[in-house]
Chains A and B, each alone.
Chain A
Amino acid sequence: MTPSEIKKQTVSQLQKTFLKMMSPEWDVALEGKPKNVVADAAKKMLAVQRARLRMENAELASIVGKLKENEEALREGKEALEDSLKDLEDVKNVLQMTAAFLEIVGRIVAIVA
């Protein structure tokens, strides 16, 4: 079993244990037990929850860290797309300005001729 599989199975086991200790069945099982047993069970349940949170956090942190490595490339891609769009818009604007300029030149030519 690989280390990541061991981690996965441990997280899964902690999740199941926490769920079990939060169930109505567990409450019924503790009914009538001595106070120290109930207190111990409560502490153990919280310890399982903390272990679970710690391991889940570590798993998420590892994935989020790897995702962050992609951020520069995503920004570059976004800029490249925006540049292409800007090129298209520039062509449109230049042509529109040229057409307007030629209109004026046409009127001047008509007056001068």
Chain B
Amino acid sequence: MCEHDTIMRHLPIHSHHLSLQIRQSCVFKHCLILLAICLHISGCASAKINQFSRFAELGCGYSEAVSGLTREAGNVAIDADSAALMKAREPLTPEERGETIIKHDKLLSERVTQLRDLRRHTQLLRSYFQALAALAKSDAPSGIGAASEDVVKSLGKMSDRIKNAKVGDLPVSEFIGPLVKITVAQFQSAALGKELRVRAPIIERELDLQQAALQAIAEQMRTDLEVLQAREEALDVVDPFRATKDSLPSDWTKRRKELLNTQISLDSVDAGVELARNFKLSFVSLVENRLDLSDVEMMFGDINEVLTLIEDIQGTKPKKKK
């Protein structure tokens, strides 16, 4: 029940004057309630857009990490194969050497091409996430709200009715901006939601395949890195120690310590697989509207782990030795 009836029953004042004031008060209250509802809806839309925005950033980071990882996977594969060729070269005849190097180059070219294709594909995935981020981060809602206010103000200059129009005690232009912003934010959120729902089966399949690719690459990389570490150990530590020479190289102790201390943790090779797995889970959570932003922050940790692995590989690449 509106205050109007209650007050009329208890106060002996001029009813017509009071009735007008109270009616205005009721309109103002309804407007405030309406605005509160709109702001609540706006808050929900903003939270949802924030989720899309963080997920899109995560997608871009993921694509970068995968691109870097595939590049290093190719480099490590070539280095491991070179180490094998150098080890086996001596007992081979020149003819056998020629045949061998051609066969190995062909196989490694195929590998590099596949990894390049995967990288190119990942760049496409990245551009998809960039488009997602652009829509999620667009400042168009506030721009449209401001532009709508400008239109109302410009109209107000021409028409006194619009200029003086009020909702409750506030001029119309005070409401137009926020309401337009809310409506546009809803459109923005709906467009993002619709896109991910339409494309959900494809993205899910995509992320499953990415996981499979990273699993295969991780196993290949693990072998290649272990081979490289084994060759370094053989050439720098074991072979000089086994040699018939009386003395060891002057840096033998130092080199041994370096090798034993700077070996890449092979567990970190699985970081890419873990990243792909968690990224897919985040995507499913986003589509089902239960994405927790703290999980997203943790996944940036996974991305960092992959980037650290790439840096480690680059930092410990063996020098070419016979």
Contact = CB atoms under 8 A, between A and B. Distances in A.
Are A and B bound to each other?
yes
Nearest to B130: A78
A107 to B, nearest CB: 9
Interface in A48-98: 49-50, 52-54, 56-57, 59-61, 63-64, 66-68, 70-71, 73-78, 80-82, 84-85, 88-89, 91-92, 95-96, 98
Contacts of A92: 140, 143-144, 147
A53 B107 contact: yes
A23 B220 contact: no
Contact of B111 (A19, A60, A102): A60
A39 B282 CA distance: 53
Contact of A80 (B110, B134, B195, B234): B195
Contacts of A11: 219
Contacts of A42: 87-88, 90-92
Contacts of B220: 15, 56
Nearest to B153: A99
Contact of B210 (A46, A50, A67, A73): A67
Contact of A68 (B121, B134, B135, B203): B121
Contacts of A98: 147, 151, 154
Nearest to A99: B150
A5 B97 CA distance: 34
A59 B216 contact: yes
B242 A91 contact: no
Interface stretch (B22-30, B224-232, B249-257, B305-313): B224-232
Given A22-B231, A27-B238, A28-B242, A56 B138 contact: no
A12 interface: yes
Nearest to B103: A50
Contact of B205 (A68, A70, A106): A70
Interface of A: 11-12, 15, 18-19, 22-24, 27-28, 31, 35, 38-39, 42-43, 45-46, 49-50, 52-54, 56-57, 59-61, 63-64, 66-68, 70-71, 73-78, 80-82, 84-85, 88-89, 91-92, 95-96, 98-99, 102-103, 105-106, 109
Contact of B238 (A28, A60, A64): A28
B110 A57 contact: yes
Contact of B191 (A22, A84, A106): A84
**Highest count of chain B CB atoms <10 Å: which of A12, A49, A91:** A49
A81 B104 contact: no
Given A18-B84, A50-B103, A77 B219 contact: no
Given A42-B88, A71-B124, A85 B135 contact: yes
B287 interface: no
Contact of B219 (A12, A84, A106): A12
B165 interface: no
B140 A91 contact: yes
B219 A66 contact: no
**Highest count of chain B CB atoms <10 Å: which of A18, A22, A76, A106:** A22
Given A82-B135, A84-B191, 15 more contacts: A23-B230, A23-B234, A24-B233, A27-B239, A66-B209, A71-B121, A74-B202, A77-B198, A78-B131, A80-B195, A81-B135, A84-B192, A95-B147, A103-B157, A105-B154
Contacts of B209: 63, 66-67, 70
B277 to A, nearest CB: 15
6 contacts: A22-B84, A70-B206, A71-B124, A77-B203, A88-B138, A106-B157
